Structure 1
Amino acid sequence: MATISLRVPDRELNIFKDYAKINNSSLSEIIRRTMIERIEDEYDMSVFDEYEKDKTTGTVKTYSHEDAWKELDL
């Protein structure tokens, strides 16, 4: 496993440590989880933005749930 060194002001470090303690987690786990969540959120937003753009330009077809049931013969 790799190690990352991060420089932060003492005040921020204390905030991070307090947050980790409140959440019964290590500082490494808090930072790792926060970064992954941020990356996932940004990815989700980019997919949503692309969908909205495609919907606006008419390049995506949507179906009502009734049409989907009919299409699937359900």
Structure 2
Amino acid sequence: MATMTLRIDDHDSELIKKFAQIHNLSISDFARQAMLGKIEDEYDLKELREAIATDDGTRFSMDEVHDELGL
């Protein structure tokens, strides 16, 4: 397992510690979740932009989707 060091000012440090404590997270768990969440958000945004760029305007009703899936 790798170790990373993060340099932040005292005010941000206290804010992060309090947030993690309120949510019953270690600082490592909070940092890991926040960083991986940011990566996932950027990936999702990239996928959305690609979907919008290739959208041909075709839409299906919920009934059509259910029929197609045999629901």
Higher relative contact order (CA 8 A, sep 6+): 2
Gaps of 5+ in 2: none
Does residue 64 of the first structure (1) align with residue 57 of the second (2)? Answer: no
TM-score normalised by length of structure 1: 0.78
Instruction: Give the letter aligned to residue 69 of structure 1.
Output: D
Consecutive aligned runs of 4 or more in structure 1 exceeding 2 Å deviation:
67-70
Gaps of 5+ in 1: none
CA RMSD, aligned part only?
Answer: 2.1
Residues 11 and 51 of structure 1: CA distance in aligned 2, closer, same or farther (over 3 Å): same
Number of aligned residues: 68
Q: Give distance in 2, aligned partners of 1:34 and 1:48.
A: 21
Task: Output aligned runs, 1:1-74, within 5 Å.
Answer: 1-55=1-55, 58=56, 62=58, 64-65=60-61, 66=64, 69=67, 74=70
Instruction: Give the letter aligned to residue 34 of structure 1.
Output: A
**TM-aligned CA deviation for residue 12 of structure 1:** 0.3
TM-score normalised by length of structure 2: 0.81
Residues 39 and 67 of structure 1: CA distance in aligned 2, closer, same or farther (over 3 Å): closer
